[in-house]
């Protein structure tokens, strides 16, 4: 399997504050990784690092073997992070046409004039409208979506994955990620724990209750116990 995204011993600090420490994983084409953590756990920092917006303090990131900024010129990458990636002054219809050129919306109002959910959906449909995509990176994409739009997003991510795209998607809610991902990167204070879906359950897709139980167990474990689990996952061939 082709490795689409490789992260090795990634550490990132803001001044003296450690935000991410020793994060490592490999993600193949046609695989999906869910990044799960509370608000402030470092999800946005990690995803911004993956596309080259932030430089790691130590460690390395490779997209198809290249540094992120070099890879973006050669690999079709979709990145969306909600309001941070939507210019409020842009007109919705014109912004929507930036994807594959398809009509996303005929609304000519500025994006800032739309409801939050509508802005989010326009942004997602634009980002995911390109074909083909080699790598999809989405930061909290379910935020603000109604039930129908949330189902559309999950189905679209599954379709992109099945067509060979590597997907990294973050959320602070287990219900968003459960059953969608091949592996889960759980961000805890000053550490990250990687678990393959088959390590959580071997009876079909991971259920939200099962993922919540894992999160609760890790949150209550000592740092040394969580570190031993992470190292065990690496030796067992989990996506690390």
Provide long-range contacts, Cβ within 8 A and 24+ apart, for 142-145. 142/171, 142/173, 142/176, 143/82, 144/82, 144/116, 144/117, 144/119, 144/120, 145/117, 145/120, 145/121
Average of per-residue pLDDT across 55-80: 93
> 89, 112, 131: which is the final residue of a domain?
131
Q: Where are the beta strands (DSSP E) in 29-95?
A: 32-36, 58-63, 77-80
Q: Are residues 139 and 126 in the same domain?
A: no
Are residues 160 and 63 located together in one domain of the fold? yes
83 and 108 co-located in one domain: yes
Do 110 and 220 lie in one domain? The reply is: no
Last residue of a domain, one of 99, 131, 163: 131
Q: Which of 167, 151, 143, 224 is nearest to 190 (CA)?
A: 224
**Can you give the CATH number for the domain in which 161 is found?**
3.40.50.300
pTM of the model as a whole: 0.89
Same structural domain, 139 and 209:
yes
Q: What is the DSSP letter of 211?
A: H
What dihedral do alpha carbons 108, 114, 119, 121 form, nearest 10°? -80
Q: Is 240 a domain residue?
A: no
Confidence label for 67 from pLDDT (cuts 50, 70 and 90)? very high
Domain range spanning residue 91?
78-131
Is the same domain home to 34 and 65? yes
Residue-level pLDDT at 237: 40
- Count of C-beta atoms within a 10 Å radius of residue 5: 26
- pLDDT tens-digit readout, 51-63: 999 999 999 999 9
CA atoms of 63 and 133, how far apart (whole Å): 13
Q: For the chain, what is the domain count?
A: 2
Query: Does pLDDT of 188 surpass 70?
Result: yes
Both 139 and 178 in a single domain?
Answer: yes
For residue 182, the SS3 value is: coil
Q: What are phi and psi of 151, to 5 degrees?
A: -65, -40
Assess whether pLDDT exceeds 50 at residue 149: yes
């Amino acid at each position: 399997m082709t490795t689409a995204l490789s992260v090795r011993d990634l550490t990132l600090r803001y001044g003296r504050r450690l935000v991410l420490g020793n994060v490592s994983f490999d993600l193949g084409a046609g695989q999906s990784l869910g990044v799960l953590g509370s608000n402030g756990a470092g999800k946005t920092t990690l995803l911004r690092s993956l596309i080259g917006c932030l430089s790691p303090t130590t460690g390395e990131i490779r997209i198809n073997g290249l540094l992120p900024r070099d890879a973006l010129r050669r690999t079709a990458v979709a990145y969306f992070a909600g309001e941070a990636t939507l210019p409020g002054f842009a007109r919705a219809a014109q912004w929507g046409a930036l994807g594959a050129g398809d009509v996303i919306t005929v609304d000519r109002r500025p994006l800032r004039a739309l409801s939050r959910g509508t802005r989010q959906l326009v942004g997602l449909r634009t980002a995911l409208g390109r074909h083909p995509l080699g790598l999809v990176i989405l930061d909290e994409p379910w935020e603000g979506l109604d039930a129908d739009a949330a189902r559309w997003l999950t189905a679209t991510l599954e379709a992109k994955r099945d067509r060979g795209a590597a997907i990294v998607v973050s959320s602070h809610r287990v219900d968003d990620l459960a059953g969608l991902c091949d592996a889960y990167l759980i961000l805890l204070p000053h550490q990250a724990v990687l678990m393959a879906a088959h390590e959580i359950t071997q009876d079909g897709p991971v259920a939200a209750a099962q993922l919540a139980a894992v999160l609760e167990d890790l949150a209550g474990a000592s740092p040394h116990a969580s570190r031993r689990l992470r190292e065990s996952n690496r030796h067992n061939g989990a996506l690390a």
